[in-house]
Amino acid sequence: MLQQIKRVVLLFAGAVSLTHSCWAGVSIPDWVRQAASQPIPKYEPDTNAVVLLAQTDFTVTAPGEYLEHCRHVVRILRHEGRSESDLGVYLDQKEKLVSVHAWTIDAAGREYELKDKDFPESGAYNYDLYSDIRFRRAAAPAADPGSVIAFEYEVKRRAWLNELHWFYQDDIPVRQADLTLQLPPGWEYKASFTVANALQPVKNGDNRWVWTVRDVPAIEHETMMPPFLALSGRMEIAYFGPGDAQAKSGSWNALGSWYAGLTAGRRNATAELSDRARQLTAGKTTFDERLKALTAFLQSEVRYVEIRIGIGGWQPHAAGDIFHARYGDCKDKATLLSSMLREVGIKSSYVLIDTHRGVVHPALPSAYFNHAILAIELPGEVKADAYQSVVTSQTGQRYLIFDPTDEYTPVGELRSQLQNTYALLVTDSGGELILTPLLSPDTNLLTRTGHFTLGSDGTLGGDVLEDSTGDQASAERWDLISNTQQQRSQELEHRLGRSLQAFTIQSSDVQHLDQIQQDLIYKFKFTTQQYGQIRGPLMLVRPRVLGEKSAYVEQERKPRRYPIELRRTSRETDTYEIEIPQDYKVDDVPDPVNIDVGFASYQSKVEVDGSKIRYWRQYVVRDLSVNADHIADWRKLQGVIGSDEASAVVLKRTP
């Protein structure tokens, strides 16, 4: 993973609780009292807290060096707002914490204080083998409704780029947020905003500017909403020294040039690497054959291991070192694959991306990425439809977008997490913002077929075959390979338990688990008692035996504000045949269903063929996001699916 430039936040977990804090002799600063004394508007009853003041001061002292001073004051309104007491400051390599302080004024007027020694240091993440990022954390005392918590710190920062980030929106309302920028004499800045109307600063001294926003609404939780950082109000600042004609930030092209320089020479091949690339592609004459041989090697033979130290959070290791060690992080794996491809005549370029769709914003040039993948140049003779994950750059060059870190997605495909989102293509001439492809539903198929026999006592038994491709298969492979056999059995039980009661799994089998170029096949057999509900001479049988496709639709008391994020585009088809008992006949079947709302469609039908009931349905998802103004269509679709999934065939006992 790339070292994502962090913003200082109030952490929501992992703080150290201090039970010995005392209110005697506490000195509350005037700015805290002033913020605490201001009246607050009437908010919705479920508002947990409100930010009274969020002040950030950036004082740039040299290229890549600045002083960050922050003040944050919040009033807790409800018990659920206690998480606002979790405080933290992150520190990167060679960064120095100058001071940190916190205060609490509770509802009864008692005062508490936390000083530097009350903020112990801890590691930042548990998924890195090693990282030089660390945190100073603490929990403010008396975090109860009515309390005001203030937090202040100052850090000497070091950055690899001359850019600053300001997030002025939170999941609670913000009464006032200020950003101050102080630049050395003769320096300039460029600001970019997510909002359509750019915020205008006030000049407050020599080369000093202040931006202020007031009464910023909360980003309230909604089910299936986009990532928080994709919604938050945000400003990016790039700053430049006098005569800095080769600015390294402020535009996508400049950022691309910076990263191209940072990775220069890293893809140079060693003799050992070159020999291996040629061995893997020996006898393979086509572009596709060579490509698949090398991508398969990266996916299966080079382990993912993340070590973040200083510039190593951005700069990959040398390709020869990665090849020799057989491990690396995302940018390392992209570097090694690019080097091996070049040895067999295939060109490629880095792509910087964020795994949270929407975080990279076209109007905000910045290095706010957390992942590196590869854009592989397609030769002119390769047909346009040969691969799914293809984009065309402004120059007309076609690129195949591929993630070497993803072990279970074959080349030519792209997992949904990385689809239809902006990313930076890094070329020799600079950088270009691209929109990654949205794959069609037919690239992600799930076909489930079941054959069952129904007993006169309502017992149902039979076998099921699930055939999945694309992102459906990749996600399933990830779960199956990472689990033990016992965990796989438990997961299958959990899956069947969502549709059935009192069932017994008789057998299960997975085919092509390690062969990612082939469909994933999952077979299992089971029996379940009382599946048919006997009501006198009648028996009610649900023809949709397995699989829930309807999503929970929350009854929101407010109009929907944000899009609904869907998991993936897909085409899912179920076909179930149920052999009914000889002493019953079909008396009634549900009506066919057919609904199409543009972003998705759903069809189902029940047919009777002699003593067999045949149920068929198909659910097609065409988009990854549904706009908030289509919430009525979403509700309607889910209602239709839910009703169909619960519908029953009526059997009647024959005389």
Q: What is the pLDDT of residues 475-513, one digit of tens each?
A: 999 999 988 999 999 999 999 999 999 999 999 999 999
Overall average pLDDT of the 552-567 stretch: 84
Band the pLDDT of 313: cuts 50, 70, 90.
Answer: confident
DSSP state of 17: B
Overall average pLDDT of the 320-326 stretch: 96
Average pLDDT in the chain:
91
What are 281-310's pLDDT values in tens digits? 999 999 999 999 999 999 999 999 877 666
Q: How far is CA 434 from CA 231, 272, 406, 411, in A?
A: 20, 34, 20, 19
Residue 275 has pLDDT above 70, yes or no: yes
Residue 523 has pLDDT above 80, yes or no: yes
Among the residues of 439-525, which ranges form H helices? 470-482, 485-497
Q: Please name every residue paired with 137 in a beta bridge, in sequence order, or none if there are none.
A: 88
pLDDT at 246: 52
pLDDT at 310: 61
Report the 3 state secondary structure along 31-68.
HHHHHHHCCCCCCCCCCCEEEEEEEEEEEEEECCEEEE
Residue 238 has pLDDT above 60, yes or no: yes
Overall average pLDDT of the 187-209 stretch: 88
What are 65-90's pLDDT values in tens digits? 999 999 999 999 999 999 999 999 98
Overall average pLDDT of the 456-473 stretch: 96
Band the pLDDT of 26: cuts 50, 70, 90.
Answer: confident
Lowest-pLDDT range of 116-130, 389-403, 531-545:
116-130
Overall average pLDDT of the 452-461 stretch: 97
- Ramachandran area for residue 503 (φ above 0: left; ψ -120 to 50: alpha; else beta): beta
Buried b (16+ CB within 10 A) or exposed e, 111-132: bbbbeeebbeeeebeeebeebb
Q: Please name every residue paired with 585 in a beta bridge, in sequence order, or none if there are none.
A: 652
Band the pLDDT of 3: cuts 50, 70, 90.
Answer: very low
What are 597-633's pLDDT values in tens digits? 999 999 999 999 999 999 999 999 999 999 999 999 9
- Helix, strand, coil content of the chain in percent (nearest 5): 20, 35, 45
Residue 43 has pLDDT above 80, yes or no: yes
pLDDT at 248: 66
Decide: helix, strand or coil at residue 441.
helix
pLDDT at 7: 36
Band the pLDDT of 558: cuts 50, 70, 90.
Answer: confident
Q: What proportion of the chain, given as a percentage, has pLDDT over 90?
A: 84
- Dist CA 104 CA 143 (whole Å): 8
Lowest-pLDDT range of 132-136, 346-350, 505-509:
132-136
Band the pLDDT of 231: cuts 50, 70, 90.
Answer: very high
pLDDT at 124: 56
pLDDT at 5: 33
Band the pLDDT of 312: cuts 50, 70, 90.
Answer: low
Say if residue 39 is exposed, middle or buried (CB neighbours under 10 Å; 0-12, 13-18, 19+). exposed
Strand ranges, E, within 63-193: 65-76, 86-91, 96-105, 111-114, 121-123, 130-131, 134-139, 148-158, 163-167, 174-182, 188-193
- Residue in 225, 228, 171, 196 with CA at minimum distance from that of residue 562: 225
- Dist CA 374 CA 294 (whole Å): 13
Q: Which own/partner pairs from 410-414 qualify as long-range (CB within 8 Å, at least 24 positions apart)?
A: 410/292, 410/295, 410/516, 410/517, 411/291, 411/292, 411/295, 411/387, 412/386, 412/387, 412/388, 413/387, 413/388, 413/389, 413/439, 413/443, 413/470, 413/471, 413/474, 414/388, 414/389, 414/439
Overall average pLDDT of the 20-33 stretch: 76
Q: Please state the φ and ψ torsions of residue 338, each to the nearest 5 degrees.
A: -60, -40
What are 115-131's pLDDT values in tens digits? 999 999 886 555 445 56
Residue 14 has pLDDT above 50, yes or no: no
Q: What proportion of the chain, given as a percentage, has pLDDT over 70?
A: 93
pLDDT at 131: 62
Give the chain's count of helices (H) and strands (E): 10, 38
Residue given tokens 């509350």 in the structure block: 28
Q: Please state the φ and ψ torsions of residue 470, each to the nearest 5 degrees.
A: 60, -140
Band the pLDDT of 247: cuts 50, 70, 90.
Answer: low
What are 149-164's pLDDT values in tens digits? 999 999 999 988 899 9
Residue 2 has pLDDT above 90, yes or no: no
Question: Which domains does the chain show, CATH number per domain?
Answer: 30-240 (2.60.40.3140), 255-439 (3.10.620.30), 442-653 (2.60.120.1130)
Q: How far is CA 523 from CA 453, 467, 512, 577, in A?
A: 17, 9, 12, 16
Residue 8 has pLDDT above 50, yes or no: no
DSSP state of 624: S
